[in-house]
Structures are given as structure tokens and as C-alpha cells.
Chains A and B, each alone.
Chain A
Amino acid sequence: MQSVECNNLTKRYGSVYAVNDLSFSIAENSITGLIGRNGAGKTTLLKMLAGFSLPTSGTVNIFGQNPFNNLLVSANLIFIDDEMVLPENMNLGEILKAAATFYENWQAGLASGLLDYFSLDLCSYYPQLSKGMKSTFNMILGIAARCPITIFDEPTVGMDAAVRKDFYRALLKDYLQQPRTIILSSHLLGEIEDLLDNILLIDAGEKRLHLPMDELRSYAVGLSGNFKLLNELVKKEDIIFQQQLGKDKIYLVVRNRNIDFSAAKLKGLEISPVAANDLCVYLTAKHKGGIDDVFKHN
């Protein structure tokens, strides 16, 4: 069953297309990473999924329903982001108690256990927390609610490395106990890639890739060697990234198709895998040569 389905989804602010003609679907009980650079349209997309904002055109379906202003979807979907505003006159303990009344699957024990582990005081107030502690508290809300769809938008903002690592492990452990549909957005794939079933890479509001993680790892290969030899072997449209290495050597990242690997090896070219995170960076870069391009022209 599909939990999330989008067809030609578009959101326009003035003349800017924040999300442009996105179509994809997410299967029930899977973890999807929504990856994109800052301003790629991740938050805009997630807000439409959560039913917070209306598409300019196209459709969103959550459990087969339009999520906008929809109570059933709201009861079964939690959206966690760092713009969340919580009552300033309720302490963390009171907020958790309030949350417990709203969510049928709420895990009170887990929530207080996590609060304790991350040294958050039940009696402290949300506005007094540091940015990282706010993120930690939001994350606890998101995990303990156990909603069939759980959306985290850049959940680790301000968290230190140790807390981030603990957070992802807590998320995985709770997912193993109660599988659900989780969408995690991040501009960094590296720290979440092990958790993911699928990756949805967007750039300038458009879909670049939507693949199972394993396929992403074999999506491209790195080739390095003589400039001329590589040009003969590789089609121009397959080049994702290129970097000059010394006088006549070049490193290319190319689509893993139509490549004669044995011929490449015979010609003395080096073949290497490309890390998923690097690949995402290359795929969403405006210039095939990366930052080096800027310096070449000046």
C-alpha cells in the first residue's frame, strides 16, 4: 500500500517555483530520505504532505485522502520541524502530557525515558531550551507519538554529533518495534544513509532521483585516468562530475551504464565507487566542475 502519493505537485510563491511538477509515491512502512540542498524545496514539499499548505497545482494523497485541513490525516501524521512553536507557559512535562491525549499510540514510558537520557528537565520551559535541546525535545515528540506517518524536517539542527547519532539509533530501534512510514529530510545524506530504504533527491523543486538506497550506490562510478582515453570511452551526457587531476589526467563521475569496464581496465583507467553523499552533491551542483569552475573563469 502507498502511504504518500503525489502527482504533478507544484507550489509557486510569486514567480518562484518552490516545488515543481513532482510526482512520486512512498510505500507504507519504509524510511525515506528527502535530500536536497538548502532552498531545494524540501520544507515546502513536506508542508504540503502534512496538509499545512495548499498546492498551486497537482495533488497530494495521504492514505488516499487530501491532507489539507483533514482531521484524520492530522491524527495519523506528525510533522516535526525546527519552526514548531510550543506553549511558553507549559513546562516540558505538561506538554508531553498534552501530547499523550492527542495520539492513540503515544509511548509515555519511551518519552520520559528519552527525556531522562538526554538530560532534559521535565520542569523546564521550551523557550528556555537551546536550539539543540529544542530539536531533541521535538524529536522525542516525533518518536513517542508513533504516528503511521512520521515526518522529520531537518531534525538534527543544532544537535551535537553524539546526540545526532543517538537520535538516529533511537529512531531505528523504535521503527523496528513499530514499523511505520518515516520521511527524514536532510541536506546531509551521510549520517542517515544506513537507515534509509529509499532516497528522494530534489533540486530547485524538481525530482532528481527516487531510488532504493542500494541502487543509488551503483548509480554512478568514478573513473580516473588519461583525459583523451576517458573522452573516447564515456558519453558526454553521462558525465555527472569532473575534476582535473594534474596535466592530462582527469577524474570523472559518470552514470553507470554503457561503460565497457574491461576495456577501461585494459587502458589503465582506475575505476572506483562513488559515496552516496558525494553523488548527491554532484547531482545537485550547478556546474559539472564544482567550485573549481568559478576559479577557472576568473
Chain B
Amino acid sequence: MYLNADDLTPLYVQIAQWLELEILNGTLQSDEKVYSQYQLAEMFNVNPATAAKGLSLLAGENLLYKKRGLGMFVAPQAKEKIRAKRIKQNLQQLVLQVVAEAERLQVSQAELIAMIKNVEPPKEE
């Protein structure tokens, strides 16, 4: 698995985002053990300290919790928290951009909504 090297988002943030996705799509359930920094380092081909930073980023948001000597686990309600956060941060940003672009291109609100309705949601892999 390789991270996007051209993306200038810091690697540890990319790792954190990937873990969030894993929690969102249910691969990682509440109170389930998360990958260790070493596993993540190997999966993403990055320095283990970088991977650890990704984990502590999520721990700082209380999405993960630490069991001493056992590693990191998914916090209860992590999925809901991530969902709320992403709606607030990502989706609204994206909508803002879409609306702005639509305005530049003089696409009416109705047309835009129709376009959104016609988009087929990507199939889960």
C-alpha cells in the first residue's frame, strides 16, 4: 500500500485519514485493536515514528484509546464522531466548492441538484 507522495498532506495525517475510513466502513469495530505503529509503517512504507504520530493524532481526538501494553483500540462511538467531523469539515467544504464552481459556470441551483441526484454512488470495494 502506498501513500500519495504528490499529495502535500503530511503523511501522518494521511495515515490517520485512512484509519478513519477503516473505522467508518466498519473494517475496524468499536473496542477492536488497531494496527500497531510497526504494522502501519510496513503497510504504508513509512518511518514508524510517522505512523505513531498518525495514531496519536486519532488518540488526541479520543477516537482511539490506549490499553497499556496491549496497544491502541477503537473508542466507542468513534464511528459517529468521525462521521460528524467529516460532514462538518469535508463535506461542507466540498459543497461550498461545488456551489462556487456552479456559480462561476452559471449552473442554476436546480440543475446542480439534478446533477447530484444523477450521480451513482461509488460501489464499496
Query: Which residues of chain A have a CB within 8 Å of any CB of chain B?
Result: 30-31, 168-169, 172-173, 175-176, 190, 194-197, 213-214, 217-218, 272-275
Complex Cα spacing A176 to B53, Å: 16
Summed over the interface, the residue pairs from A and B with CB atoms below 8 Å come to a total of 43
Complex Cα spacing A288 to B80, Å: 49
Residue from A169, A213, A273 in contact with B45 in the complex, judged by beta carbons closer than 8 Å = A169
Residues on the B chain within 8 Å of A173, using CB: 42
Give the distance to chain B from A143, nearest Cβ to Cβ, in Å. Answer: 15
Q: Are B12 and A196 in contact (CB under 8 A)?
A: no
Between A and B, 29 residue pairs with Cβ closer than 8 Å are A30-B49, A31-B47, A168-B45, A169-B45, A172-B42, A172-B45, A172-B46, A172-B47, A173-B42, A175-B48, A176-B38, A190-B5, A194-B3, A194-B11, A194-B44, A194-B50, A195-B46, A196-B47, A197-B47, A197-B49, A213-B47, A213-B50, A214-B12, A214-B50, A217-B10, A218-B10, A273-B8, A274-B8, A275-B8
Annotate B9-25 by CB proximity to A: 1 below 8 A, 0 otherwise: 01110000000000000
Give the distance to chain A from B53, nearest Cβ to Cβ, in Å. Answer: 7
Give the distance to chain A from B26, nearest Cβ to Cβ, in Å. Answer: 28
Complex Cα spacing A170 to B45, Å: 10
Using A172-B45, A194-B47, A273-B8 as known contacts, list a sample of 12 further A-B pairs with CB atoms less than 8 Å apart, ordered by residue number in A.
A31-B47, A169-B45, A172-B41, A172-B47, A194-B3, A194-B44, A195-B46, A195-B47, A197-B49, A214-B53, A217-B8, A217-B10
Query: Which residues of chain B have a CB within 8 Å of any CB of chain A?
Result: 3, 5, 8, 10-12, 38, 41-42, 44-50, 53
Residues on the A chain within 8 Å of B3, using CB: 194
Q: Are B5 and A176 in contact (CB under 8 A)?
A: no
Complex Cα spacing A127 to B38, Å: 38
Residues on the B chain within 8 Å of A194, using CB: 3, 5, 11, 44-47, 50
Complex Cα spacing A87 to B40, Å: 41
Residues on the A chain within 8 Å of B47, using CB: 31, 172, 194-197, 213
Q: Are A176 and B41 in contact (CB under 8 A)?
A: yes
Complex Cα spacing A175 to B50, Å: 14
Q: Assuming the A-B contacts A172-B45, A176-B38, A197-B47, are A214 and B8 also in contact, with contact meaning beta carbons closer than 8 angstroms in the complex?
A: no
Residues on the A chain within 8 Å of B11, using CB: 194
* Minimal Cβ-Cβ distance residue in A for B3: A194
Complex Cα spacing A197 to B47, Å: 7
Give the distance to chain A from B117, nearest Cβ to Cβ, in Å. Answer: 33
Give the distance to chain B from A23, nearest Cβ to Cβ, in Å. Answer: 23
Complex Cα spacing A196 to B50, Å: 9
Residues on the B chain within 8 Å of A172, using CB: 41-42, 45-47
Complex Cα spacing A184 to B41, Å: 18
Complex Cα spacing A273 to B47, Å: 21
Complex Cα spacing A31 to B48, Å: 10
Residues on the A chain within 8 Å of B49, using CB: 30, 197
* Minimal Cβ-Cβ distance residue in B for A218: B10
Complex Cα spacing A213 to B50, Å: 9
Query: Which residue, B10, B42, B48, has most C-beta atoms of chain A within 10 A?
Result: B48
Complex Cα spacing A190 to B3, Å: 13
Give the distance to chain B from A280, nearest Cβ to Cβ, in Å. Answer: 15
Residues on the B chain within 8 Å of A197, using CB: 47, 49
* Minimal Cβ-Cβ distance residue in B for A214: B10
* Minimal Cβ-Cβ distance residue in A for B10: A217
Complex Cα spacing A16 to B47, Å: 36
* Minimal Cβ-Cβ distance residue in A for B53: A214
Q: Assuming the A-B contacts A194-B3, A214-B10, A273-B8, are A176 and B48 also in contact, with contact meaning beta carbons closer than 8 angstroms in the complex?
A: yes
Give the distance to chain B from A208, nearest Cβ to Cβ, in Å. Answer: 21
* Minimal Cβ-Cβ distance residue in B for A191: B5
Residues on the B chain within 8 Å of A272, using CB: 8
Give the distance to chain A from B36, nearest Cβ to Cβ, in Å. Answer: 10
